[in-house]
A = this chain, B = another copy of it.
Amino acid sequence: MRIALAQLNYHIGHFESNTLKIIDTANKAQKLGAELTVFAEMAISGYPPRDFLEFEDFIDSCEAQLDIIAEACFDIPLILGVPIRNTTNKGKPLFNAAVFLFQGKKKYFRKGLLPDYDVFDEYRYFEPADRFECLNFRGKKIALTVCEDLWNVEDHPLYVKQPMEELILEEPDLLINIAASPFDYDQAEKREKVLRKNVEKYKLPLVYVNHVGAQTELLFDGGSLAMDRNGRIISRLRFFEEDLQIVDSDSYSTHFVNALPGKIERIHDALVMGIRNYFQKLGFSKAVLGLSGGLDSAVTMVLAARALGSENVYAVLMPSQFTSDHSVQDALDLVKNLGSPYQTIPIKEIYQGFENELSETFKGKAFDVTEENIQARIRGALLMALSNKFGYILLNTSNKSEAAVGYGTLYGDMNGGLSVLGDVYKTEVFELARYINTDQEIIPENTIIKPPSAELRPDQKDSDSLPKYELLDRILYAYIEQRMGPEAIVKLGIDPHTVARVLRLVNSNEYKRYQSPPILRVSPKAFGMGRRMPIVARYLS
């Protein structure tokens, strides 16, 4: 059977657009000779719709769109993901299902394993299915599963149930999995390993269709694929782009297998897609950002220019009395390299205004973080003024290391509609900069090699108040990504006082991160919806 893998970029709740895209693609696939076209999990609504799933009106809309597709594609057999109502008298109100549509008939296949960890909340909305059966179509038995249904193959399985153990009893010919599997820089390998485990265990060929595109912080890399029954990839769709390929489940000869990009390339492409989709889906085209001459804003600016076009990224230089000449020059060099519009707004006079109004109140008090923050907040307010007046979205330029230890000013440099680098550690930002400069110097070399500084007081350097980034990032990775406790981190050979200090900084700055913009997620553990921490807790703080 010739099966089309339709890897599309959906828009949450934008039903007309999703439906049109599905119908167009189904028609295109049929013309290319497909006998069955497979779309991703929850294709109809986009993923994740989150609490819109609690609205009857939203579920009604999903049903209405499904009818439109069923009618428009009457003679085109297709599979796609939909939320459907639980019509039994017990359990959560919905199921997460795959539906097989053909000639006016709808056959549903309910998801049995509901991810509820990290960024996933599926048990919040859905009842897990407890019975599973194959789809019979054109003489083939298809074990049709939804995403997580195939992910219970570890030695210490996260779920008590195992849908495939039931399905295999029907002796299926083929395994199809529709998914909404978000990107992180390790995910493609993890995903292929899990899929291959299923293929090898059940000795079945596999068709796997994923989402592509960004939904605010969640990035979907695509990478849909087909495997033969030996676990050999015979088709792999593009990463970070829509794609359509047709495989033959009988011959299973090799089709086009797109290469898996390297880690830094993946992060780069994911961030560019994340920025681009955020603007597109909100109906915006232009970005503004503060360009300091430092590394983070430089890398953010290049990524934005690649996502939106250089001419659509407006850079603002806002020097203060503490800004070095080389910073201004580095910022100007970058703007020149990109050919982007920019302007300079000195903050000295406004700062003077704040100082005047507060001088009485602050009399006898030393210059401290207060005055540093005032500078950052003036810049934040200027950038928002440009955003408001001209309809730009402000891009936040903080990195993950800073976000982790609270090295940033709330309502100042933490401002923005979207955080581009908030899931990229400083040491990885360096790698990104080097990657960007592979062919030519786009980011000025001086921006990369000079010691990082916030330039909010005379001769300030990040290393005055933080451990060196190599060490800091090692501790942060162990604590955040690996959930190691202080003793375990110290056993890696790191000084106990430094470990305690860093963990204290992370935990006592939860209140800042609570108010930070959404962060494009590229790691297995990003700040935001996938990491939920209490604020008033007193633990390692």
Which residues of A are in contact with B by a Cβ distance under 8 Å? Answer: 11-15, 17, 46, 48-52, 54-58, 60-61, 89-92, 116-117, 121, 123-124, 127, 155-160, 214-216, 277-278, 281-282, 343, 345-347, 349-350, 352-354, 356-358, 361-362, 365, 368-370, 373-374, 377-378, 380-382, 384-386, 388-389, 410-411, 415, 417, 483-488, 511, 514-518, 529, 531-541
- Given the interface pairs A54-B483, A92-B158, A117-B124, the reply to whether A13 lies near B350 with Cβ below 8 Å is no
Contact B537 A12 (CB under 8 A): yes
Minimum CB–CB distance from A354 to chain B (whole Å) comes to 6
Specify which chain B residues have a CB less than 8 angstroms from the CB of A380 in the assembled complex. Answer: 377, 411
Contact A346 B357 (CB under 8 A): yes
Q: A51-B533, A518-B535 are in contact. List 6 more A-B contacts (CB 8 A).
A: A11-B538, A89-B156, A124-B532, A343-B361, A347-B357, A373-B388
Partner of A411 from B411, B484, B540 at Cβ < 8 Å: B411
Partner of A50 from B345, B357, B532 at Cβ < 8 Å: B532
Specify which chain B residues have a CB less than 8 angstroms from the CB of A539 in the assembled complex. Answer: 12-15, 49, 52, 58, 61
Contact B382 A357 (CB under 8 A): yes
Specify which chain B residues have a CB less than 8 angstroms from the CB of A91 in the assembled complex. Answer: 157-160
- Given the interface pairs A51-B531, A51-B533, A55-B483, the reply to whether A377 lies near B384 with Cβ below 8 Å is yes
Minimum CB–CB distance from A285 to chain B (whole Å) comes to 15
Give CA–CA (A356, B378) in the complex, Å: 14
Minimum CB–CB distance from A207 to chain B (whole Å) comes to 28
Specify which chain B residues have a CB less than 8 angstroms from the CB of A51 in the assembled complex. Answer: 531-533
Contact B538 A281 (CB under 8 A): yes
Minimum CB–CB distance from A454 to chain B (whole Å) comes to 15
Contact B389 A368 (CB under 8 A): yes
- Given the interface pairs A116-B116, A216-B536, A282-B536, the reply to whether A382 lies near B354 with Cβ below 8 Å is yes
The 4 residue pairs across chains A and B that have the minimum distance between CB atoms: A57-B485, A13-B539, A14-B538, A350-B353
Give CA–CA (A488, B511) in the complex, Å: 38
Interface centre among A483, A533, A534, by most chain B C-beta atoms within 10 angstroms, is A534
Minimum CB–CB distance from A57 to chain B (whole Å) comes to 3
Minimum CB–CB distance from A367 to chain B (whole Å) comes to 10
Give CA–CA (A197, B117) in the complex, Å: 33
Specify which chain B residues have a CB less than 8 angstroms from the CB of A358 in the assembled complex. Answer: 345, 382, 385
Contact A385 B354 (CB under 8 A): yes
Contact B518 A517 (CB under 8 A): no
Contact B384 A373 (CB under 8 A): yes
Specify which chain B residues have a CB less than 8 angstroms from the CB of A486 in the assembled complex. Answer: 57
Contact A357 B345 (CB under 8 A): yes
Partner of A13 from B55, B354, B373, B534 at Cβ < 8 Å: B534
Partner of A485 from B56, B89, B277 at Cβ < 8 Å: B56
Smallest CB gap from A343: residue in B: B361
Interface centre among A12, A54, A410, A488, by most chain B C-beta atoms within 10 angstroms, is A410
Partner of A356 from B90, B121, B349, B517 at Cβ < 8 Å: B349
Minimum CB–CB distance from A214 to chain B (whole Å) comes to 8
Contact A281 B536 (CB under 8 A): yes
- Given the interface pairs A357-B350, A357-B382, A538-B12, the reply to whether A389 lies near B411 with Cβ below 8 Å is no
Smallest CB gap from A356: residue in B: B349
Give CA–CA (A353, B215) in the complex, Å: 39
Give CA–CA (A511, B283) in the complex, Å: 14
Minimum CB–CB distance from A211 to chain B (whole Å) comes to 14
Specify which chain B residues have a CB less than 8 angstroms from the CB of A50 in the assembled complex. Answer: 532-534
Specify which chain B residues have a CB less than 8 angstroms from the CB of A536 in the assembled complex. Answer: 11-12, 214-216, 277-278, 281-282
A-B contact pairs, 6 of them (CB 8 A): A11-B538, A51-B531, A277-B536, A282-B536, A357-B382, A378-B381
